[in-house]
Structure formats: C-alpha cells, structure tokens
Amino acid sequence: MTGPIRVVLAGASGRTGREVGKAILESPDMELVGAIGHRQAGKSVDAIWPGVKSEIIITRELPLCDYPAILVDFTEPGSAFQRVLEAAAQGWHVVIGTTGFTADQIDMMARQVADHGVGGALIANFSLGAWLLERLVKEAAQYFTDAELVEAHHPHKRDRPSGTAKRIASTLASSWGKPDDEIPVHAMRLPGMVAHQAVIFGAPGQILTVRHDVHDRSAYTTGALQAIRHIDRFPGRLIQDLGELVEH
C-alpha cells in the first residue's frame, strides 16, 4: 500500500475497539477514516475517546468510500458477519477480532474473501501473549497427555467458552488425535475479570500450568496493528493464526 493505511473501525464505542482505535490514531502509517458504533452513533470520536483529537463522526453502517480501506471489526457476530461480507465485496481487506461466529459463517467469510481476492484475518485473540500461550501449549502437548482449560472473562462477554479457549482446545485435540469436545473447558464470567486463559497439564506426580492474563485491553493493540499492516500480503485468504501476521 502507498500512503497511510486507511482504516474503518467497527466497535468504536466498545472497550477493545476504543483501545485499538486510539492506537490507530497514534500510528503514523495509518489513518482512521471511519468509525462504526451503534450506541454512540452521531457523536464524534473525540467525544467518547478521552484524550484524542478526531472529528470523525460515528455511524451505524459501513461508510461509503471512493477508495479501498481496511475494515477492523471488534463488535459481535450478529452485525459483524454481514459487515465483513459487504466490506470484502467492496474490495476491502478485513481484520476481525469479533468472536462467536458459527462454522458456516466462517466458511462464508472465507469464500467471500477468496472470491474478491482480498486479505482477511479472523483472530480470536490479538494479544501477543495469547499467541505465545498457544505455542507453549502445543509444545507441552508433546510430553503430556492430559489437560483441562480454565478461561475467565468479564460478564459482558457473550460467547462461552471464548474463541481463544476453543482454539487452544482444538490445538490440544489435534496434538492428541481427539475430537475438540473431549478437551474439558471451564468458563467463568465474573466482575473484575478482563481476559484470562490457563491450561493445566497433569501427569503422575506433577502439574504444569501455562497461563496468560490480560488486565488492560491495550494488550490487543500490537497484534491488531501488525494485522492491519500486513493483511494485504494475503490476498484471497482468511488467516486465523496471528503468527502468520506477526512473523511475516
């Protein structure tokens, strides 16, 4: 891409969207050109993001642009699904942090990305620590044969278990030749939590715990920015591994 990377952010009024949006505004190689948020539609970005200067007006729908942009979506699957399909049809790359999609919805988004030759990223967790957790779990699974997952999030998170926990369970299941649903996952939704994942391996005489904790949503910004910068290198693909983006 030449010039700043133009970004439209869906989820501007949400907690994670706000942190990612601020990071986009602070990035010299990016330009925030649109913001979507149902609860705060009609307000300017700087009215709901303390400490930033931006006169962009938050809308309810995907804005009309006479140039390609990247849709970054941190919302919920009900609205995100159609928005992603629409953006890809317009020739936009899509970076999706929304979780809770059905398998059929993921397949349809992958086909849409492929049909229109745009890059797509569907990442359950943009924090680098969570990505490293997955790598450590995969390594540990070579030496242990039993494990259970415990995930805890804030009460407003709708999907249960989380997308990250499902992905880790799938990693373990693949390593051990089991169906995903044979990996026990315990989910908690409690005040005071942000995002917490723990994988507990057990063997005779020992326990190994691999854990990652997010205490502030700024943890997601580095991975999200990396995805925005590199997504154009994957035309026609829906990437679901953050490692492909951060290591590229």
Active-site amino acid positions: 153, 157
Residue-by-residue DSSP string for the chain = --SSEEEEEE-TTSHHHHHHHHHHHH-TTEEEEEEE-STTTTSBHHHHSTT----PBEESSPPP-SS--EEEE-S-HHHHHHHHHHHHHTT-EEEE------HHHHHHHHHHHHHHT-BEEE-S---HHHHHHHHHHHHHTTT---EEEEEEE-TT--SSS-HHHHHHHHHHHHHHT--GGGS-EEEEE-TT--EEEEEEEEETTEEEEEEEEESSGGGGHHHHHHHHHHGGGSBT-EE--HHHHH--
Question: Whats the size of the chain, residue-wise?
Answer: 248
User: Helix 163-176 and helix 128-140: axis angle, to 10°?
Assistant: 20
Q: Is 16 one of the annotated binding-site residues?
A: yes
Instruction: Dig out the tokens for 35 from the structure.
Output: 């913001």
Q: Is 75 one of the annotated binding-site residues?
A: no
Q: Is 51 one of the annotated binding-site residues?
A: no
Q: Is 21 one of the annotated binding-site residues?
A: no
Q: Is 222 one of the annotated binding-site residues?
A: no
CA end-to-end span of the chain, whole Å? 16
Q: Is 78 one of the annotated binding-site residues?
A: no
Q: Is 2 one of the annotated binding-site residues?
A: no
Q: Is 135 one of the annotated binding-site residues?
A: no
CA–CA separation, 82 and 139 (whole Å): 37
Q: Is 11 one of the annotated binding-site residues?
A: yes
Q: Is 17 one of the annotated binding-site residues?
A: no
Q: Is 212 one of the annotated binding-site residues?
A: no
Q: Is 111 one of the annotated binding-site residues?
A: no
Residues annotated in a binding site: 11-16, 39, 97-99, 154, 163-164
- Residue ranges of the annotated binding site for NAD(+) are 11-16, 97-99
Binding residues for (S)-2,3,4,5-tetrahydrodipicolinate: 154, 163-164
Annotated binding site for NADP(+): 39
